Structure 1
Amino acid sequence: MPKTIFITITRSFITRNILRCGTLDLLKKEGYNIFVFFPARSIPDYLQKELADSQVKLVAIQTTDLHRLHRLLSKIGSSYLIFTRTTKKRVFYFNDNAKTRLFSKKFLIQSKVVPWLRYIYLRLASKSKILKRLYRFMEYAFFPQIYADVQYYFEQYKPDLVFSTAVISKLDVIFMKEAKRRGIKTVSMSKSWDTIPVAYIQFLPDYFIVPNEPSRRVAVDLQDIPAERVSIVGIPQFDWYKRKDIIKTRAEHLKSKGLDPALPLIFFGSGGIWTPFDHEVAEMIYEWISNNELVQPCQLLVRSHFTDADQDVFKKLKNKARVAVDTYRITNFLVDKWDPSVEEMVDFINTLYHCDIMVNAASTLTLDAVCFDKPIINIGFGCNYEEGNRQGRDITNISLYTSEHVAWVLETGGAKKVDSPHELKDQINEYLLNPQLNSKEREVLRKNLCYRLDGKSSERVVHILNTL
């Protein structure tokens, strides 16, 4: 009898990573009946047409906001029970989106007392096994998160397994708790390679899959997940990077974007809401190109981040010579508002393959680029300013480069961080003259964070699902 699996998807980029990059197709070949649940009012027609069939059912599930006490417990527990460079940064750094109640944001930024009190509590709480066990006990015992709609699907279709694709997302936790009450096995993962060190996981699955060795160490040593319940699988969306059949010629791809195949291409990727001023750095690079200030004539492709893709941040670069502004499908379906089609995924991969230099500010594009051994420059200036004011202090380094996952990148030397326009121009010129510069360091970065890059990450995911 065919097995039934429930999959939770809370971001459109997870739709890409899991449903479009091989995992869904492999599960179908294994004969599973598959139910995919989204936190939404309804499923868009384009998604139904693309993914739903006799084996795959797409289901919209609505949930309510967490109770105030539950939110408080989650905030205190997830933020202070794990000590990483990311959580350390968070207790000292208050961004523009930080919500404050007892103190003004200005006081919190300027005060030396409150951040240090937070830091002391972080150090103490993150070492307490009692607090960690109590947090997870209370999460399950006091906040069961029972939903009639979710219970209906469990009772009606009796799943053999629940696959959660974002371990700390609300919908995922709801499904994992319901599965535990019914004795059904759960497998989970973080929604992205960079989120495992961000917060203490409030509810543990039966099995946890991670993208690389640094993530495994955090899962075992800091998230307190038993080592025998953690496996490295790689990054499923990178499976496509081994597909030679989707690579177009340089001439075909660049001409389709109005670019010159004979000129080196600088790929500039925005960091979105985390780098609200990085478009100015792209505009500066364009000025260097247009004024022939680089060692070679070049061209530029800019790509917005899904968090602010609807803001037209690169409008000043549109219709300029030797510049292409990348586009992709924007949708209001899930909170990330981005859902690339297969054609857009192929287009993005070809841009990575044919670009000559990648420039971004602490973005996952660094890993995308290193898969193709492209020279990578990380911007350490001009992307973020205190209080969101261009006249304020430049806090690009503080806000972006003091996180755990970014340290994993920079420690390899595979991406070069630049802290001024002068350093950026010099680094671009160095890579134009010698693209192989730092190739050994990029190999270390690739091995450390991208795992095997053998096109079989999705196979490893499905193998684990099959063994439970």
Structure 2
Amino acid sequence: MKIINSMNNELIEKKQKTVFISADHGLALVYFLQTDVVNTMLSNGIRVVVLTDDGVTDKVRSRFAADNLYFEGLRLDGLKKYFKSVHHNRQYWLHFLRWMGGSDQVNTTAIDSHLRQMNHETSRRGKFLMPFLKGYIRILRKSGYARKNLVRSQMRYTPAIYSDLFEKYSPTLVIASTSGWRLDRYLLREAAQRGIETCMAVIGWDNPSSYRLPGAPMQWANCWSQIQKQELTEGADWNQDRVNIGGIPTYDGYFQKKWQLSREAYFQMHQLDLNRKLISFACSFVTFSPNFQDIEALVQLVSEDALNQPCQLLIRLHPNHFLAGSLFEEEANRIRELIKGKPYIHLVEPVALGGDLGFYSGEDMPEKSSMMAWSDVFLTVYSTMVVETAIHNRPIVSVCIDAPGGWNKPEKFSLSLSEIGKWPTHERFRNAKAGRVVYNKEQLKDAINLYLEHPETDEAERLKFIQDECTYTDGSAGKRTGEYFSRLAKESKISQSVIYQFDPIH
């Protein structure tokens, strides 16, 4: 009888639809596990296996334990070893070509800036290759067939690192938080090689415009908005019938105000003065330009009481500020030194989850939400937090004060902040008139004073901006997305033909 029961259990398990989810980033864990996405899939009878950083797998498993939910390591060390040891240069440049080689039928200014950076910072050998690579990139941007061949050519680099997991769980769908722009490309290629369908979940606002061609043949995508869908279909050849607009589940908690602390509790957390207006600055864009000059101007305005009302400043460091030995770490230390001893200047440091997931973490969502909700004026440099702050309906200023000489390092590429307004997401913020953009200290002062006196300014534009960018503003994106993934899992069939379903339309 025990043998028969065991056989029946195995048969039931094999019939059950299973989904792999690659969560190789802190924000991916928020997207899938701190929203309704995975819970909706579980309620639909889907078995979910989340693959995440090996260093935090046990921690994540204990925190999100649920029936039919399993956790496995992503084996990132093995992937890094494979990338470095097997035709490393060829893999490196194939990745670069995918990044730069999307169609020019959509705005390419963001990736063009990265191309300029690479041209400046690459090795001597890279500089020798660059003219040939640029020529190939011009072909890729015009030819859908060239792009298709590039994507398919990478299938030769498919290590069987996950073969035991595929055999153990027999998934019918693999979902990743990128379309193989990170090391998830190896998982996606192995799935494609096995005839298992794959899906990308767009986690970041600028992902479709900042990265282009998939790192493996893929079939499905879930994005935030019609805008992102157009970027995927016209910029990276996705079949429009296979791109779903599900909104952004990560922001459901903002719309529902589930993370937001009271003003009193948040001010007490940072020893803020309840009688002073709160100005917040979230660092961003540290790859190409320092934030220091923006912060320095704000510190002077607040410390000298140069604004129309008594204010205090809260500065949130960027996750990249914690890269050991980097220019960004140096900038973080300069900021700490600048604000030392100033009573109305405070610093917020994002929380790290651990492993390779970095400081993009769901651990401090209450901090982020409360910072935006209780800021009288919120400032940044076009970061994704302009969308998040618009959800909280707070005034927004994008501070683009140029740093003389940029990083002032000959080997380091610098890009003036005044040059980046035409990047796709930046351009959308500007065109939406959802906030103000300033280029010097006087403009900064005027914009802050305007919003302090008239916080309702640009409110209608902010509301339309989040509608256009997020689509669903009722906190339902997680359930919608979970239903979509569940439907794909139930309808997907294992077939070797899936590796040929990446069809360019240009």
What RMSD in Å do the two structures reach over aligned CA positions?
2.9
Deviation at 1:256, TM superposition (A): 2.3
Aligned length: 452
Q: 1:27 is matched with which residue?
A: 41
Residue type of the alignment partner of 2:382: A
8 Å Cα contact 1:385-1:393 kept in structure 2: no
Q: Which residue identity is paired with 1:135?
A: L
3-state secondary structure, aligned to 2:50: strand
Q: Which has the higher helix share?
A: 2
Return the alpha-carbon distance in structure 1 between the equivalents of residues 433 and 238 of structure 2: 30
Q: 1:338 to 1:447 in 2, by over 3 A?
A: closer
Give yes or no for the alignment of 1:453 onto 2:468. Answer: no
Q: Mapping of 1:304-343 within 5 angstroms?
A: 304-309=317-322, 311=329, 312-313=332-333, 314-315=335-336, 316-318=338-340, 320-334=342-356, 336-341=358-363
2:30 pairs with 1:16? yes
Shift of 1:371: 0.7
3-state secondary structure, aligned to 1:299: strand
Deviation at 1:422, TM superposition (A): 1.2
Q: Which has the higher mean CA deviation after the structures are superposed, 48-57 or 401-410?
A: 48-57
Which structure carries more relative contact order (alpha carbon 8 Å, separation 6+)? 2
Q: TM-score, normalised by structure 2?
A: 0.81
User: Displacement, 1:133?
Assistant: 2.2
1:265 is aligned with what amino acid?
A: L
The aligned residue for residue 206 of structure 2 is 194
**Could you say which residue in structure 2 is the equivalent of 1:434?**
454
The 2-side partners of 1:96 and 1:81 are apart by 18
Query: Counterpart in 1 of 2:380?
Result: 360
| Aligned pairs for 1:295-306 within 5 A | 295-306=308-319
| Deviation of 1:330 (Å) | 2.4
2:403 and 2:224 map into 1 onto residues whose CA distance is 28
Is the 8 Å Cα contact of residues 41 and 483 (structure 2) preserved in structure 1? Answer: no
**Residue number in structure 2 paired with 1:6:** 20
In the TM superposition, residue 418 of structure 1 has moved relative to its aligned partner by 0.7
Q: Identity over the aligned pairs, expressed in percent? A: 19
Give the partner amino acid of 2:186: I
Partner in structure 2 of residue 80 of structure 1? 101
Using the alignment, how far apart are the partners of 1:73 and 1:16 within structure 2? 30
- Determine whether 1:94 maps to 2:94: no
Q: What residue in structure 2 maps to residue 70 of structure 1?
A: 91
Give, in whole Å, the separation in 1 of the partners of 2:249 and 2:361: 16
Q: Which amino acid aligns with 1:101?
A: R
Distance 2:56 2:419 in 1: 36
Cα distance 1:324–1:398, how it changes in 2: closer, same or farther (>3 A)? Answer: closer
- Preserved CA contact (<8 Å) 1:370 1:442: yes
Note the C-alpha offset of 1:416. 1.6
Alignment of 1:251-330 (within 5 A): 251-271=264-284, 273-274=286-287, 277-309=290-322, 311=329, 312-313=332-333, 314-315=335-336, 316-318=338-340, 320-330=342-352
- d(CA) in 1 for partners of 2:60 and 2:419? 36
Q: Distance in 2 between matches of 1:251 and 1:461?
A: 35
After superposition, residues 131-280 of structure 1 pair within 5 angstroms as: 131-140=146-155, 142-143=156-157, 145-147=158-160, 149-202=161-214, 203-271=216-284, 273-274=286-287, 277-280=290-293
Corresponding residue for residue 443 of structure 1: 463
Residue identity matched to 1:94: Q
Contact 1:43 1:59 in 2 (8 A): no
Report what 1:375 is aligned to: 395
Taking the aligned partners of 2:37 and 2:390, their CA distance within structure 1 comes to: 23
User: For 1:288-327, what per-residue CA distance to the aligned partner results, in whole angstroms no more than 9, with x for missing partners?
Assistant: 1221110111111110011114634431325532232113
Separation of aligned partners in 1, 2:134 and 2:94 = 18
The aligned residue for residue 111 of structure 1 is none
Summarize deviations over 1:236-267 as a string: whole Å, max 9, x none: 11100122454333222212221122322111
Q: CA deviation at 1:201?
A: 1.6
**Displacement after TM superposition at 1:275 (Å):** 6.0
Q: Counterpart in 2 of 1:413?
A: 433
TM norm structure 1: 0.87
Q: Which moved more, 1:327-336 or 1:421-430?
A: 327-336
CA contact (8 A) 2:18 2:171 kept: yes
SS of residue matched to 1:42: helix
Contact 2:319 2:350 in 1 (8 A): no
Amino acid at match of 2:167: E
CA 1:279 to 1:363, structure 2 compared with 1: closer, same or farther past 3 Å?
Answer: same
Contact 1:376–1:416 under 8 Å retained in 2: yes
**SS in structure 2 at match of 1:329:** coil
